[in-house]
A and B are shown apart, each in its own frame.
Chain A
Amino acid sequence: MEKGVKLAKPKVAFYWCASCGGCEEAVVDLNEDLLKVADAVDIVLWPVALDFKRKDIEALGDGEIAVSFINGAVRLEEQEEMVKLLREKSQLVVAFGACAHLGGIPGLGNFWTRDAIFQRVYKEVPTVDNPEGITPQEKTAIDDGELTLPEFYDTVKTLDQTIPVDYYLPGCPPPPDLILNAVNAILAGELPEKGAVLAPDKALCDTCPRKETKPEKLLIKEIKRPWQIKIDPEKCFLEQGIICLGPATRSGCGETCIKANQPCRGCFGPVDGVVDQGAKALSMIASILGLEDEEKMTDEEVKELINGIVDPAGTFYRFSLPASLLRRKRMEVK
């Protein structure tokens, strides 16, 4: 066990990078418990709720903040500066939510380059009327002076590709019970080994309410997309031929998507020991596709079966492309 943080009122910081505000909503979804947490700690930084004082953070001693919770992927230079500053001043840094942990949905941007994104967003979409091909610039001279914008990086990075991270709170967003557990563990100084993901080390399948209907030996003869069949609300998705990332994903989410009768898309990331969630998911699916009939199938039939997975990269790496061994689509060399 690591020695914990045992201050009467530990200083806590919350910060966000490239994210959507959903992680902040998740904190507010603590409801009444939020007030208890706010009472037990001294919040020194929370741009959403409190006056942002970067220079106050700068004035703190190294390690004076007990813990910084940082959500969002890292994409802009200023985000990088800010998380580096928080790292210096914090005993613990927790990557909060799927984007900080794995890159998340904004990480799908790593399938493209900045130029391709700008081309689509500012020149190509059918509503844009932009004959001069204007795109946002870091510096723009106007009659009265100059306007500046932060640089938009080519590649989305996870938090731990930018600074060392002590713990991870997974999920899009992390569920209230895990947030509360993490905060309580930190306050009580009862922390697991550094680098731990603060969620159960089990696959989602192990806690899935449809576990009983998952056959011992899965066999998918034909991939079904979620709109192609009436989804049985009781039965294992894989058994129904629908791609579900349950076997390759960590549990702890409360199976909320499953309960809404939708398959898992992997926002919690992999279980301990798995480096690349997408590769794990791919090998898992490959192992159950057509299993028994494989030898009898023609190459053409095998191909057709595999083609049933219409977007393997975007499906298996939905939340984890920046954290994967691939990290991004290879850039074209000009």
Chain B
Amino acid sequence: MRKITIDPITRLEGHGKIEIFLDDEGNCDKACLQIPELRGFEKFSEGRPAEEMPRITTMICGVCPTAHHIAATKALDDLFKVEPTSAAKKIRELMYNAFQAEDHILHFFFLGGPDFVVGPQAPAAERNVLGVIAKAGLEAGKKVIEVRKRLRGILRIIGGKPVMPTCGLPGGVSKQITEEERETIIDTAEYAVDFSQFALELFDDIVLKNKDYVDLITGDVYQHRTYYMGLVDGNNKVNFYDGLLRVVDPNGKEFAKFRVQEYLDHIREHVEPWTYVRFSYLKNVGWKGFVDGEESGVFRVAPLARLNVSDGMATPLAQEAYEKMYEVLGGKPVHSTLAFHWARLVEALYASERVLELARDPELTSSDIVNLPTRTPKEGVGVVEAPRGTLIHHYQTDDRGILTKVNLIVATQNNSAAINMSVEKAAKSLIKKGNVPDGILNMIEMAFRAYDPCHACATHSLPGGMPLEVNVYNSKGDLVKKLKRGY
């Protein structure tokens, strides 16, 4: 038996390690993506005052702190049974969409995009953000830095600081927006709408006009017929901030639609001894292992899943982009893992348009920003669509609002079974009769990078990707081949 290890080395918080086992014929028999990461927020939050959770759970992820901040804040609304003021909801949703746009744009240009824009077979040294800039032009590169800086400026205005925002309170937010700040937000939102359209055009020019890329997207290696989950508004349109959770089956038919407070009736998690991550599945289908299809409870979340569960986008430009995507890829649902990248750009455009809509609403600068809770707290659940998928915070407290139990369903947990399957499928498709092609590293990496998994969240923010090493051993354990790459 030969064993191949793909290990982004000793980066332990937020790293993944891929182990590939070959059978006697040299074909891939099994592949596992292990996550050696755990901090135990569910436990050490016990005993803390519930209102501190928006300021504690932000530290789960410094790349997506705003997602945890808002999920926690919404769990507090539910815990204290207090309705936020109308202005507060708008401020929160605006902040949330600014964050979503920034995060999505960055993923495309810095992480996922290079595979397409520069090319999956391009030399590794060029397959990074600098390669993207080389192909798209220096002006584009400057715009990427500018749009990130300005969108993060919105987070600074509303939340104090983009890494670890602090504005959420049960029933509202802590800070009022001034008219001057509103003007800045409008300018930024207009810039972001333009930029998101530019990013989609770039995708169109470089990816969609290249038949090889389209074949790659639609090809079998990256397909999984799974269930999908995401938040939708009252018209079944994509919404990141609020709504009902909708699940569709692999044929695109609605399987369930529920309030997040009912999540325990729908979601269960499976534990494996070889990884620190838990695997979510649909309770009413059941855990059948790492397999897809209608009989398996494995579901997917994040951009493509959200588009698959919805009937469209709530803003006009994003709706056009949504229609085009399904037209080109042959209708809903799309099962191609690589289409997550496209869906991400459609969502970036929606998020930018939504920021602009909300910024233009005069109520944004209202001083009525918080309703004080009056009810005795007991239990609350909050949900948002994080960039990487459905994120749920569930708190139970004593009657003083001190946490007694906490459960967190983090986006990447929901995708973790599917990510494993995608890695294994890519390995099985590519490794035959002991032949481990050099291109395999990136092909496998592409299988999980499309999900923008949070355990790679730090690689998310800078040029490059995870460095990988593949060691191929023969049955005696001798190293016969070594593949290595990094940016």
- B-binding residues in A (CB < 8 A): 16-26, 28-29, 31-32, 46-52, 54, 72, 76, 78-79, 81-82, 104-106, 108-109, 111-112, 116-117, 120-122, 125-130, 134-137, 140, 142-145, 147, 149-150, 152, 172-173, 175, 225-231, 233, 254, 256-257, 259-262, 265, 310-311, 313-315, 318
Shortest CB-to-CB span from B386 to chain A, Å, is: 14
Residue of A nearest to B484 (CB): A51
CB contact under 8 A between A311 and B48, given known A112-B43, A227-B169: yes
CB atoms of B174 and A261 under 8 A apart? yes
Judged by a CB distance under 8 angstroms, whether B3 is at the interface is yes
Q: How many angstroms between the C-alpha atoms of A144 and B56 in the bound complex?
A: 41
Shortest CB-to-CB span from A289 to chain B, Å, is: 18
CB atoms of A76 and B462 under 8 A apart? no
CB contact under 8 A between A225 and B59, given known A29-B152, A48-B461, A256-B160: no
CB atoms of B458 and A261 under 8 A apart? no
Specify which chain A residues have a CB less than 8 angstroms from the CB of B276 in the assembled complex.
136, 149, 152
Shortest CB-to-CB span from A205 to chain B, Å, is: 18
Question: What are 21 A-B pairs with beta-carbon distances under 8 A?
Answer: A16-B458, A24-B461, A48-B464, A51-B484, A54-B9, A108-B56, A120-B42, A125-B269, A127-B264, A127-B407, A134-B272, A142-B274, A152-B38, A172-B59, A226-B169, A227-B372, A230-B372, A233-B176, A260-B161, A261-B174, A314-B49
CB atoms of A21 and B11 under 8 A apart? no
Shortest CB-to-CB span from A34 to chain B, Å, is: 9
Judged by a CB distance under 8 angstroms, whether B62 is at the interface is yes
CB contact under 8 A between A173 and B34, given known A52-B9, A260-B158: no
Shortest CB-to-CB span from A11 to chain B, Å, is: 18
CB atoms of B80 and A227 under 8 A apart? yes
Specify which chain A residues have a CB less than 8 angstroms from the CB of B446 in the assembled complex.
none
CB atoms of A127 and B166 under 8 A apart? no
CB atoms of B13 and A20 under 8 A apart? yes
Shortest CB-to-CB span from B380 to chain A, Å, is: 13
Residue of A20, A79, A111, A311 most packed against chain B (CB within 10 A): A20
Partner of B162 from A25, A78, A230 at Cβ < 8 Å: A25
CB atoms of B407 and A126 under 8 A apart? yes
CB contact under 8 A between A51 and B486, given known A173-B164, A226-B169: yes
Shortest CB-to-CB span from A312 to chain B, Å, is: 11
Partner of B164 from A22, A130, A226, A254 at Cβ < 8 Å: A22
Q: How many angstroms between the C-alpha atoms of A230 and B370 in the bound complex?
A: 7
CB atoms of B21 and A144 under 8 A apart? yes
Judged by a CB distance under 8 angstroms, whether B256 is at the interface is no
Specify which chain B residues have a CB less than 8 angstroms from the CB of A260 in the assembled complex.
158-161, 165-167, 174-175
CB atoms of B1 and A135 under 8 A apart? no
Residue of B nearest to A108 (CB): B44
Interface of A is mostly: loop
CB atoms of B62 and A24 under 8 A apart? yes
CB contact under 8 A between A121 and B268, given known A49-B487, A106-B59, A262-B167: no
Shortest CB-to-CB span from B478 to chain A, Å, is: 15
CB atoms of B160 and A259 under 8 A apart? yes
Specify which chain A residues have a CB less than 8 angstroms from the CB of B272 in the assembled complex.
134, 136
Partner of B62 from A25, A226, A259, A313 at Cβ < 8 Å: A25
CB atoms of B164 and A227 under 8 A apart? no
CB atoms of A256 and B62 under 8 A apart? no
12 other A-B residue contacts (CB within 8 Å) besides A16-B13, A144-B1:
A21-B14, A22-B164, A46-B462, A78-B12, A105-B59, A122-B271, A134-B271, A135-B271, A142-B30, A143-B30, A261-B175, A262-B166
CB contact under 8 A between A314 and B166, given known A22-B59, A229-B372, A259-B160: no
CB atoms of B402 and A310 under 8 A apart? yes
Q: How many angstroms between the C-alpha atoms of A18 and B15 in the bound complex?
A: 11
Specify which chain A residues have a CB less than 8 angstroms from the CB of B120 in the assembled complex.
none
Specify which chain A residues have a CB less than 8 angstroms from the CB of B80 in the assembled complex.
227
CB atoms of A47 and B62 under 8 A apart? no
Specify which chain A residues have a CB less than 8 angstroms from the CB of B61 in the assembled complex.
20-22
Which positions 17-64 of chain B face chain A at CB distance < 8 Å? Answer: 19, 21, 29-30, 32, 34, 36, 38-40, 42-49, 51-52, 55-56, 59-63
CB atoms of A21 and B457 under 8 A apart? yes
Shortest CB-to-CB span from A59 to chain B, Å, is: 16
Shortest CB-to-CB span from B49 to chain A, Å, is: 5
Judged by a CB distance under 8 angstroms, whether B434 is at the interface is no
Residue of B43, B63, B487 most packed against chain A (CB within 10 A): B43
Residue of B nearest to A82 (CB): B10
Shortest CB-to-CB span from B61 to chain A, Å, is: 5
Judged by a CB distance under 8 angstroms, whether B252 is at the interface is no
Specify which chain A residues have a CB less than 8 angstroms from the CB of B51 in the assembled complex.
225-227
Residue of B nearest to A129 (CB): B268
Specify which chain B residues have a CB less than 8 angstroms from the CB of A122 in the assembled complex.
271, 278
Specify which chain A residues have a CB less than 8 angstroms from the CB of B389 in the assembled complex.
none
Judged by a CB distance under 8 angstroms, whether B119 is at the interface is no
Judged by a CB distance under 8 angstroms, whether B460 is at the interface is yes
CB atoms of A18 and B39 under 8 A apart? yes
Residue of A nearest to B469 (CB): A52
Specify which chain B residues have a CB less than 8 angstroms from the CB of A32 in the assembled complex.
145
Residue of A nearest to B146 (CB): A31
CB contact under 8 A between A25 and B3, given known A109-B44, A128-B268, A314-B48: no
CB contact under 8 A between A147 and B19, given known A109-B40, A233-B175, A260-B166: yes
Shortest CB-to-CB span from A19 to chain B, Å, is: 6
Partner of B55 from A116, A145, A262 at Cβ < 8 Å: A262
Residue of A143, A233, A257 most packed against chain B (CB within 10 A): A257
CB contact under 8 A between A21 and B62, given known A106-B39, A136-B275: yes
Q: How many angstroms between the C-alpha atoms of A227 and B8 in the bound complex?
A: 44
Q: How many angstroms between the C-alpha atoms of A19 and B52 in the bound complex?
A: 19
Q: How many angstroms between the C-alpha atoms of A106 and B163 in the bound complex?
A: 16
CB atoms of A21 and B402 under 8 A apart? no
CB contact under 8 A between A227 and B457, given known A51-B487, A105-B56: no
CB contact under 8 A between A145 and B174, given known A22-B164, A173-B164: no
Specify which chain B residues have a CB less than 8 angstroms from the CB of A262 in the assembled complex.
55, 160, 166-167, 174
CB atoms of B29 and A144 under 8 A apart? yes
Shortest CB-to-CB span from B192 to chain A, Å, is: 16
Specify which chain A residues have a CB less than 8 angstroms from the CB of B158 in the assembled complex.
260
CB atoms of B30 and A256 under 8 A apart? no
Which positions 423-474 of chain B face chain A at CB distance < 8 Å? Answer: 457-464, 467
Partner of B462 from A17, A24, A145 at Cβ < 8 Å: A24
Specify which chain A residues have a CB less than 8 angstroms from the CB of B62 in the assembled complex.
19-26, 173
Judged by a CB distance under 8 angstroms, whether B253 is at the interface is no
Shortest CB-to-CB span from B108 to chain A, Å, is: 16
Specify which chain B residues have a CB less than 8 angstroms from the CB of A315 in the assembled complex.
49, 52
Shortest CB-to-CB span from A138 to chain B, Å, is: 10
Judged by a CB distance under 8 angstroms, whether B171 is at the interface is yes
Specify which chain B residues have a CB less than 8 angstroms from the CB of A149 in the assembled complex.
34, 36, 274-276
Q: How many angstroms between the C-alpha atoms of A230 and B85 in the bound complex?
A: 13
Partner of A51 from B34, B55, B171, B467 at Cβ < 8 Å: B467
Partner of B402 from A46, A128, A311, A318 at Cβ < 8 Å: A311
Specify which chain A residues have a CB less than 8 angstroms from the CB of B65 in the assembled complex.
20, 22
Q: How many angstroms between the C-alpha atoms of A46 and B40 in the bound complex?
A: 26
CB atoms of B40 and A121 under 8 A apart? yes
CB atoms of B12 and A150 under 8 A apart? yes
Specify which chain B residues have a CB less than 8 angstroms from the CB of A145 in the assembled complex.
1, 3, 19, 21
Specify which chain A residues have a CB less than 8 angstroms from the CB of B29 in the assembled complex.
144
